[in-house]
Amino acid sequence: MDRPTVVIHNTISLDGQLGGFPVDEGLYYELAAAIPHDAVLSGSGTMLAAARAQGVDLTGEDVPRAGPAGDGPLLVVVDSRGRLTRLDWLRDLPFWRDVVILGSRSTPEPHRDRLRRAGVDCLVTGEDHADLGAALTELAARYAVTSVRVDAGGTLNGHLLRLGLVDELSVVVAPHLAGTAAPLAAAAGTPRLTLIGTDELRAGQVRLRYAVSAPSDAARGD
């Protein structure tokens, strides 16, 4: 396999939603840390939501820097449209060694220039959207990434599953009914799931682990 191993890890409600209910973040990240990974893959929408929640000002320009910003895994963000205009607030966090952007040939050139000035790598694959399969292969070749944990919303999860790029699905099921419109995976097709593990967790939560098999397709992302 040329690409890294990919594991999607999420907490969902009993009705399969990603939001609209209280999440035990301590438990989520405790389990996430135990999943082997040297990169965390997320989407620009997830990062923009985090910026809004934290009150991050995305105007202005990042301070140029060279080399890794810290230790740990890479943070890899799919952002073909160039929506994530500031990255210093992510690069300053202690959770990863640096940030890499996955773009496409349609990513606005001014945004790519902004990334270059800030010293942020942008892997360009695909025409209108990032070619996720090619991007994962490039992550392995350029950064020696062998395993990826996906921390994303339903759109990116769905793309990865539909394209046959996921090896394992790790789901913490919380004892809540959310009833919102934020499913675990949107437009994922019908991947074949094989149950490989179950764990009873605290506060009525359960973890389910599935091996994923699905046909491949042309890769695209956010």
pLDDT-derived band at 86 (thresholds 50, 70, 90) equals very high
> Looking at the domain that runs over 5-213, which CATH code has it been given?
3.40.430.10
CA 218/CA 36 separation, integer angstroms: 27
Task: Give pLDDT tens digits for 190-214.
Answer: 678 888 999 999 989 999 999 998 6
Q: Which amino acid is at 135?
A: A
C-alpha 107/C-alpha 129 separation (Å) is 8
Spell out the domain ranges in the chain. 5-213
Q: What local confidence, expressed as pLDDT, does residue 217 receive?
A: 46
- Which residues are within 8 A (CB) of 51 and not within 5 positions of it... i.e. 6 or more apart? 58, 84, 86, 89
Quickly state the pLDDT bin for 42 (edges 50, 70, 90).
Answer: very high
Q: What is the mean pLDDT of the chain?
A: 89
- Tokens representing 50 are 């985090």
Q: How much is the pLDDT for 35?
A: 96
146-182 pLDDT tens trace: 999 999 999 999 999 999 999 999 999 998 888 776 7
Confidence (pLDDT) at 213:
85
Which segments of the chain does DSSP mark as H helices, in order? 25-34, 44-54, 88-91, 109-118, 132-143, 154-162
**Could you tell me the pTM of the whole model?**
0.86
Cα distances (angstroms) measured from residue 85 to each of 17, 46, 135: 28, 14, 21
Report d(CA 98, CA 74) in Å as an integer: 5
Which has more confidence, 14 or 66? 14
Please report the pLDDT score of residue 102 as a whole number. Answer: 97
> What strands lie across the sheet with 192-200, from one edge to the other?
121-124, 98-103, 74-78, 39-43, 147-150, 5-12, 168-173, 206-213, 192-200
Q: Write out pLDDT tens, residues 25-35.
A: 999 999 999 99
pLDDT classification of 64: cutoffs 50, 70, 90: confident
Quick count: other Cβ atoms within 10 Å of Cβ 131?
Answer: 23
Comparison of pLDDT for 19 and 8, the residue scoring more: 8
